[in-house]
Amino acid sequence: MPTTKKLEDKAMIEQKLRGKDFLTLAELETEDILFLLEEAIDLKQKQKQGIPQTDLQGKTLGMIFEKSSTRTRVSFEVGMLQLGGHAIFLSSKDIQLGRGESIHDTAKVLSRYVNGIMIRTFEHEKVEELAEHATIPVINGLTDLHHPAQVLADLLTILEHKGKLKGLKLCYIGDGNNNVAHSLIEGAAKVGMNIAIASPNAYEPNADILKGANADAEKQNSSISFTNDPIEAVKDADVVVTDVWASMGQEDEQEERINAFKPFQVNSNLCKHAKDDFIFLHCLPAHREEEVTAEIIDGTHSVVFDEAENRLHAQKALLKVLMKD
């Protein structure tokens, strides 16, 4: 049972976050992330127990998709429904944004129709511009630079399976310059996890993101390391994570990337260097026998479907905290 002071602290955090945007994990404080994870756990328990959730009764989320999606669309849409609200799917082909209407005008108009906007797009600058001109919360459902909604679910999954976050070692193997890697770096630094990234040369994480995350890691007495040696990175890891080698929009680089990343496949030979009780995460969709073997992703260490389910609960926490009156 939380103390009165803890309840007061949680109320203050909730009040601080209400009506805010969710663009990157770097913009949140450690206490904000931990609070969102607590909310996700609470909402997940209520759903499993069949307790009705009506926190967003009468609220509507506009969902702009310029990139296709399974987990992002379903988790946000079902999340709104389970919280008593409604979600509207807005494909770029179906709204005027896809025909040249400015982000400024789109933001102003949607702010008068809906109570929040979730956008999944390419350029991160587009999300920032949308948030600048909207008067309602804007949630980053994915950009080429960041994927904070996914990593919130990843942290929830790790917390459930490991019982803590601070002090764990997370190893990311693959493209260090993709959105999942960047948000994992930011999230791990905020919560005090040690993160090791293994990528080929020319696929290092964004320098500005690393600079900010290193400052956060220093505050938490944790570390961020980068290497070209996947065995070095995975040594004694509690959590092993990878992602596809070519993300959406990079299809023309597929062959080049396969050649570059072949030594970075997550397989049983690599994972024997991790801790015996390591867990494996992948945001999905996965290309079995490319970035990860079937033996690992379908094996006993894999928690990828718990992770996928937790997109729903993490997104519900976001929606409730940001959009509730």
Binding-site positions for L-ornithine: 179, 243, 247-248
34's CB contacts (< 8 A; 6+ apart) are 191
Q: Annotated binding residues for carbamoyl phosphate, as ranges?
A: 69-72, 96, 120, 147-150, 283-284, 311
Alpha helices in the chain (DSSP H): 4-17, 30-48, 71-82, 103-111, 124-133, 148-162, 179-191, 207-219, 230-234, 254-261, 268-271, 294-297, 304-323
List, as one string, the DSSP characters of 252-306: GGHHHHHHHHGGG-B-HHHHTTS-TT-EEEE-S---BTTTB-HHHHTSTTB-HHH
With left for phi above 0 and alpha for psi between -120 and 50, is residue 142 left, alpha or beta? left
Q: Annotated binding residues, as ranges?
A: 69-72, 96, 120, 147-150, 179, 243, 247-248, 283-284, 311
Which residues are designated catalytic? Answer: 120, 147, 150, 243, 283, 311
Q: How far is CA 96 from the centre of its chain?
A: 28
